Amino acid sequence: MKNATLKVAAVAVLCASAGAMAANNPTAAGLNSVGDLNISITKGELVRVSQLADILFPPMATMAADTTLTTDICVFSTTGGYNVTVTSPNANVNQLRLAAGGNFLPYSMSLDDYAAPQTLPHGIQRTGFTGADPVNDLCSGGTNATLSATILSADFNAVPAGAYADTVTMTFNPE
């Protein structure tokens, strides 16, 4: 009676391989034939930002005090940490700006990971954020960070009337 043993498993490989390995196959027939194979999986560093929402300041004619609006977001990172870079087509050097034709209204953004909030100037990568969900890429429907946009009343009151807008692109990388 001949016996043969074969170990098999099916696995999804997510990223680059872990190095060269080879299955071993017996070189000759025998009463028992045993081979082995290696099973490998590499979990890459992945990140995802979700639950983003536009920040819409209500229409107003004057601003009595500096005004900040916030929106809660979900950040997933397989490492639990991440960095963020914010960019805008209306920025001036590192200053974010809303635009209405040829008129510009400066504003600032910040991200609070509930550990160490940081400002987000245009084009500067902010590192060291923590608290990302390392398991569920949609934070199981919850949120774990707060994004803020602030307009200073002095800046607001100095610009002409108009409809001001900006589109901010936020790029997240795992750390």
Partner 1 sequence: MNTLKKTALGLAFAAALPAIAATDGTLGNPSTGDIAITLTIDDLVQISRLNDITFGAYAGSGNLTATEAFCVYRNGTGLYQVTLTGDSDGLGGPGTDFFVTSGANVLPYTVDYDDGSGALAVTSATPVTTRQGHQTLPDCGVADNTSLTVTLLEADLQAAVAGAYAGTLTLVVAPE
Report the interface residues with partner 1, using CB under 8 A.
Answer: 44-57, 59-62, 71, 76, 98, 100, 105, 107, 137, 147, 149, 151, 154, 156-174
Decide whether 9 or 163 has the Cβ nearer to partner 1.
163
The tokens for 150 are 């602030």
Decide whether 3 or 62 has the Cβ nearer to partner 1.
62
Decide whether 9 or 161 has the Cβ nearer to partner 1.
161
- Report which residue type is found at 175: E
CB 110 within 8 A of CB 120: yes
The secondary structure of residue 157, as a DSSP letter, is H
Q: Strand 145-151 and strand 67-77: pairing?
A: antiparallel
Max Cα-Cα span within the chain: 93
CB of 11 vs partner 1, minimal distance in Å: 19
The tokens for 34 are 């045993």
Q: Strand 67-77 and strand 118-119: pairing?
A: unpaired
Q: What whole-number distance in Å separates Cα of residue 23 and Cα of residue 37?
A: 4
Decide whether 19 or 59 has the Cβ nearer to partner 1.
59
Decide whether 21 or 69 has the Cβ nearer to partner 1.
69
